[in-house]
Amino acid sequence: MINKNIFEFPIVYTNTIPRIALGWGAHETVGDECKAAGMKKALVVTSGLKGTGIVEEIKGIINHAGVAIEIYDKITTNPKDYQIMEAYKLFRESQCDGVVALGGGSSIDTGKCVRVLAANGGNDITTYSVFLDPPWEQTLKKMKPCTVPQVSVATTSGTGAEVSSWAAISNTRARAKVLISGPNVHSTVAVIDPLLVRMQPREIAAWSGFDALAHGVEAFVTKVQGPYAHGILLRAVELVYKNIREFTYNRMDNIACERMCWAATMGGIGIGFGAGAGIVHGLGHQVSALTDCHHGRINAVMMLAGERYNQPAIVGKLAAMTRAMGIDTTGLTEWEAADLWFDEIEQLLKDLEITPGNLSEQFGLQEKDLEHIINVYHNDFCSQGNPREFNHDEILALMKRVMHNPY
C-alpha cells in the first residue's frame, strides 16, 4: 500500500512527450507532419515573428503539402486569456482541424489551450487552470483528452513548451499566471530547427536560454525526481552554461546554437520527470502576471534569490551542478562547491547584461502587490515540489529583500 506518511511523493510519474524532430532543416518537414497528423486546415498560432520571414516560409511549406491554413498572429509574451479565446474562436469559425504553433512558449502554449477548449468547450480557458487546491489530479480527471493534433515549431531555445504537457497563461481578471494542462495536451510532434532558432534577437536568446537553465536547475533540485532527471537535467545545465554566452552574442555560431536547442528540449522533457519547477518559476510567474515581464528574464532575475533560499536543503545538488558545469571543485567542501555555483551564475548574469533582483527598479513592482503574489504562489503547482518548505512570512521576507537588492 502506498504510504504517504513515509514518502511525501512515493511514486514518480513522467509526462508523455511528443515525437521530436531536432536538427538543421527540420522545419521543411512541417507540411508533411501536418498531413501525417490528418490536418486539412490548420490554425497557425504565432506572434507574427515580424522581420524574420519565418511565418511566410512555414505558410508556403504547409500549403505545398496540400494543407490549408488560417493565421492567428496576435500572441504576446505571457499569453493572455482573451488572446487564447480569440484564437479558439478563429479555430472554430474557420473549421480548422489542427494547430501549428510557431514561435516561443507563448505561441506553443496558446496552441495547447486552443486544443483543450476544442476538446472540452467553454467560454473561458481559465476554467481549466490547475492548482494545488482543488487538487490538480482531480481537475485533470474531469477533462476530456485533446484530439486535435498540434505541430509545434520552436523558434526560441528556452521554454521547452514544444515537448511539455503544460501551458502557462495570464488570467487577466485574477491578475495571475496560471497553469493549464489536460490529457493528451502535449504536441503531436515537436519541430526544433536551429535555422529558425538562430534568428532570435540577442536579448531573447539570453532570456529564453536562462529559462532552459531554470528548468534544468529547478527540476534537478525539486523534491521529486529520480535517475531520469539526474541524467537529462544535469546535462541541460551543462549545455546552457557552456553555450549561452557564445549563442547570445553570435547566434550564427552553429555549434552553440544547436547545443542550446538540445538544452532547451532536454529541460522541457526533464521538467516532466518529477515535480516540475519550484520557487523561481512560481514567484516569477506572478511577477510576470503583474508586470508582463518576459518569462525567461524573470527566471534569470529570480534565480539567485530563489536558490539562496533553497540552499540549506540542496547543498549537495548545487555542488553537483557546479561540477556538471565543468568547474573544478577539488578540495572544496560541498558547501563551498555550492557557493561556487552562485558565483558562476552571478557572473553569467553579468556577462548577459541581466540585472538580478531589484524588482521595483527594473519592473516597477510595488510592495502592495507582494501579498497577492504570495497568495497565488501558495496554491501554485510550482510550490509543491520546491525543496525547502516555506511559510508566508519567509516568502514575504524574500520578496521584500529582492525588491531593492540582487538577492
Min separation Cβ 275 and Fe ion, Å:
14
Contact segment (CB under 5 A) with Fe ion among 1-9, 203-211, 252-260, 395-403 equals: 203-211
Shortest distance in whole angstroms from residue 78 CB to Fe ion = 12
218: contact with Fe ion by CB under 5 A? no
Closest separation in Å from C-beta 89 to Fe ion: 28
Q: How far is CA 140 from CA 1, 117, 120, 145, 181, in A?
A: 24, 13, 11, 9, 7
Helix pair 295-310, 202-221: axis angle to 10 deg: 30
Taking CB under 5 A as the rule, which mask of x and - marks residues 121-150 in contact with Fe ion?
------------------------------
Q: Which is nearer to Fe ion, 33 or 211 (CB)?
A: 211
The residue among 193 and 211 lying less far from Fe ion, judged by its C-beta, is: 211
Q: Which stretch binds Fe ion (CB under 5 A): 116-124, 148-156, 206-214, 391-399?
A: 206-214
In whole angstroms, the minimum distance from the beta carbon of 284 to Fe ion comes to 8
* Cβ-based neighbours of 338, under 8 Å, separated by 6 or more: 311, 314, 315, 316, 318, 319, 322
Say what angle helices 334-351 and 227-249 make with each other, to 10 degrees: 30
- Stretch of residues binding Fe ion (CB under 5 A), selected from 33-41, 69-77, 81-89, 211-219: 211-219
**Residue 380 makes contact with Fe ion by CB under 5 A:** no
Contacting Fe ion within 328-367 (CB under 5 A): none
Burial string for 19-35 (b: 16+ CB within 10 Å, else e) reads ebbbeeebbebbbebbb
Instruction: Report, in Å, the least distance between residue 280 CB and Fe ion.
Output: 9
Angle at 276 between CA 270 and CA 277, to 5 degrees: 110
Q: Does 162 bind Fe ion (CB under 5 A)?
A: no
CB of 192 to Fe ion, least distance (A): 16
Indicate the residue among 97 and 211 with the shorter CB distance to Fe ion. Answer: 211
CA atoms of 33 and 16, how far apart (whole Å): 19
Count of all residues that appear for the chain in the document: 407
Does position 109 bind Fe ion by CB under 5 A?
no
SS3 sequence of 212-243: HHHHHHHHHHCCCCCHHHHHHHHHHHHHHHHH
Residue 138: CB minimum distance to Fe ion, A: 25
Q: Of 272, 148, 258, which Cα lies nearest the Cα of 222?
A: 272
Residue 19 φ then ψ, to 5°: -65, 140
Residue 176, helix vs strand vs coil: strand
Question: Which among 91-99, 108-116, 208-216, 247-255 is the span making contact with Fe ion, rule CB under 5 A?
Answer: 208-216
Give me the residues paired with residue 45 across strands.
72, 101
Nine-digit cell string for 22: 531536432
> In angstroms, rounded to a whole number, what is the distance separating the alpha carbons of residues 377 and 392?
10
Which one of 2-10, 111-119, 210-218, 241-249 is the stretch in contact with Fe ion (CB under 5 A)? 210-218
User: For Fe ion, which residue of 211, 218, 258, 307 counts as binding (CB under 5 A)?
Assistant: 211
- Residue with smaller CB distance to Fe ion, 37 or 206: 206
Cβ distance to Fe ion smaller for residue 29 or 310? 310
Contacts with Fe ion, residue ranges (CB under 5 A): 211
